[in-house]
Chain A
Amino acid sequence: MTKTLVALAVLATALVVAGVPGAEIVAGLALALVLPGLALVRALFAGRTLSRVEQVVLVPALSLAVIVIGGLLIFVTGIALTAASWGVVAGAVTVAAALAPGVSARIAARRHDGRFKESGRTSDSSGVVTGSAGAPRVSRSARVRWVAPVLACVLLLGAAGWISLSSAHRQERATAVTELSMLQTGKGLDRAVSVDLTTHNAPDDTYRLVVRGSANFSQTFRPDVRSDGEWSRDVALPIGGRVTADLYRGTDSAPYRTVFVDVI
């Protein structure tokens, strides 16, 4: 178990530091939620039987505790919190804890009054009856009784997830957004405005943009947003005052969007 833990920690750390696409998801989750906790449970409670349920809860808890406390220590040392630093800390804790499970056992052996040291089945103080000499054998039928419902649940949750995600995406795609904005980009003799048009999920409409200013200033554009949904143009202005940009859609005569800026 020790060798396996060390090997897994080293491999996971390497994958995270290298940022291997796909593999880093499994490796990152293992380093964040499983490996440090697993190693620490073995180190802290060696020679002491924890129930399976206790282990299930403690493994992610200790892993996340390593992340939080480790993150604080990384910060104190002045090192940036990156995938590499998180990964190295989680991996190092895993390796260190995996190699030191005997420490706690020795302390326990010295101080323990022997009440709980029984071979085979152990009844600990919580009344939990657990096996300390390895997990009990699980028959094939029992395995099926557990695995079949778990598989069914995974399928059902997958179906629920697909229904939710697809309907949420459909709803988002159905919302068309057309944004028109204008900001002053220069003052005085360099006075200018930047006009931006962005569309999301909007139908391929044709647009006409008219920029008007003082002293009968007027410029007309035909923004094309069909390729990437974005169009931008800097417009130099000969004179200050209010500048208005009206966006017309198709053959509409009323502005679809309007922005205005008091230019100095």
Chain B
Amino acid sequence: VTATIAATPEAEAPVSRARQTRRPAPVGPVVVLSTLGVVLVAIGYAAGRTGTPGGMIWYWIGQALVFVPILFRVLRGRLTETRAFALVMALVVNGYALKWAYSPDQLRFSDELQHWTATGTLMRTGSLFQPNDALPAAVHFPGLAEMGAAVAQMTGMSVTTSAFVVAGVLHAMAVGAIFLLVRACGGGPRLAALSCVIYATGLHFLFFDSMYVYQTAALPFLILGFWAVRRWHMNRATAGFAVLAVASIVVVTVSHHVTALVMLVALAGLAIVERSRRALIAAAVAFVCVAGWIGLVAPEVLSYLVQPFQSVFGGGSHGGSAGGSATWILAIQGVGLLGLAIVFLVAVRKQLRRRGRGRVTDSWWIAALVGAGLFFLGGGLRVVGSSGPELAARAATFTYIPLAIVAAAVLLGGRRRRMAIGTALILVLAIGARLGGWPPSWELLPGTYIAGGAERAVEPQGVAAAQWTEQHLGPGNRIAADLTGWSLTSSYGRQNPVGQVADLYDAPRWTSAQAEQADRLGVTYLWVDTRLATSTPPTATLFYGDPRSGERVTPIPMDHLTKFDDAPGLSRVYDDGAIRIYRLGELR
């Protein structure tokens, strides 16, 4: 195989002889400047926590400092592989530091708490596949929990600290693997670095792709698997790459269901495009592993995976919602996506011309174009059903990788004008990602409690109440709660929270209908956070399976939340001034 990405229509533009002979500019000052941005963002976060004005200014200056110097240095000119990789790693480490600095003392995002619980359970029982009411689908995908538990147990550090370490290493590995993949496909250091920088403008890059969630564990091994297949294909003498490919496939399979299925489909697609024996073997191994694992160990995950699609095509509601973004944020994101679409079309047009002239192109470049095309196809899900935006964003985690590579190749293949436009496009994408990614725009800074919020709804009162449930009620009780209570009781409280309970809270009076519904759902305890009556939830959603999802534009009236005091058969067993816990019925 001689054709590579470097030999595609979007090869890096030649650097002038004068610049070639010149020594590459150092990257150290750039990296230091970028890291200074982390300090500024940390100051912004601290201001947010204390309510000091000006936090957002520090935040945006810091964010710009973290990203822009590295982007400009990558675009500026010659880079050795080591320097290019150093720049990429600086961006990743600084980006992860931003994520950690947002909540440095504890995990707050609900998905992270679910995996934190699973890790704690593994450590407590010393066994895999233990029930996890917080996220039953993760029970048979223990890869992340194994990593977290191993680090925690071997080092003696807390689960939280270990989770931060493991997630950070995995995140860096994922981006490093993209760098390796581009290099293995013949891309130069600059192309590899720019691909990673563009990937860093993804909506989920700073948070979902670096959180302590099982996708974070699987993603680097997915990319490494492809890298190993590529290297195995090209270095026929080295069995090590085959071993690495198989190990990566196994780790992905036992770590995350969606990533495993993506890996299977992508490897099968690659085998079809490349028509090589080794790609076919990799796809076959992936099929055996994934089909065997899901069929024999985790068959229940199929129904879990079908749920979002049912809600897309059936119009139902699935889980919580991050809420819609403001129009102006959507406009910024739209401009970025439009720019990416144009870049993609340029790549496709050049590829078609090249094909018309009878030139051979690396099949991996074709695969990258197909993957990039899937990004836009997946983007179409945004407008379909209540789970559409979530599905589109989740799909983008994978499809944004080939798109970033294609976009980098197109931008580096152009002259100054294209580079300038490309720089502007990347900056727009980065701003759109910070505004429309996670945490949502209404809690970009940490701060005081927000009723119905995400990370900012997790605060000491809620945590203390959830811990009380485990200490005094024991684990596994069926407890009805709002979204925050659901997350806290299932993790800190190790309870078995119940969804579809909005009616219990919305009803103005506790009648036999509510009592029957609670009985039907097996509810033993009610978690009532009276602060829900004090402000409108920013997501306009308060419960899992909320029938009024996205429509809650006023708080729940206080008398709807205090009605439980007068309800026959309900005992208020806990009160911390904001959160009240009621027991339904008599002592069992």
Contacts and interface: CB of A to CB of B under 8 A. Distances in A.
A222 interface: no
B237 A48 contact: yes
A25 B155 contact: yes
A68 interface: yes
Contact of A57 (B94, B122, B177): B177
A153 B35 contact: yes
A171 B49 contact: yes
A53 B150 contact: no
A145 to B, nearest CB: 6
Task: Find the residue from A68, A111, A168 having the highest chain B CB count within 10 A.
Answer: A68
A68 B151 CA distance: 11
Task: Find the residue from A27, A58, A156, A198 having the highest chain B CB count within 10 A.
Answer: A156
Interface string B144-157: 00110111011111
Interface in A23-58: 24-25, 27-29, 31-33, 43-45, 48, 51-54, 56-58
B574 interface: yes
A149 B169 contact: no
Nearest to A80: B126
Interface residues of B, number: 104
B251 interface: yes
Contacts of B176: 53, 56-57
Nearest to A44: B240
Nearest to B239: A107
B559 interface: no
Contacts of A44: 239-240, 243-244
A65 B153 contact: no
A53 B569 contact: no
Interface string B221-254: 1001000000100111111100110011011001
Nearest to B29: A149
A178 B255 CA distance: 40
Given A104-B238, A178-B577, A196-B472, 10 more contacts: A28-B155, A29-B151, A44-B239, A53-B82, A127-B4, A157-B94, A177-B461, A184-B587, A261-B573, A262-B586
Interface of B: 4, 6, 26-29, 31-32, 35-36, 38-39, 41-43, 45-46, 49-50, 81-82, 85, 90, 93-94, 97, 100-105, 122-123, 126-129, 142-143, 146-147, 149-151, 153-157, 165-166, 169-170, 173, 176-177, 179-180, 183-186, 188, 220-221, 224, 231, 234-240, 243-244, 247-248, 250-251, 254-255, 446, 459-461, 464-465, 468, 472-473, 569, 571-577, 581, 583, 586-587
23 contacts: A24-B154, A25-B155, A28-B153, A29-B155, A53-B180, A57-B224, A64-B170, A80-B126, A81-B127, A81-B128, A83-B153, A111-B237, A113-B237, A127-B183, A145-B28, A156-B39, A159-B39, A165-B104, A167-B49, A179-B574, A198-B464, A259-B574, A259-B575
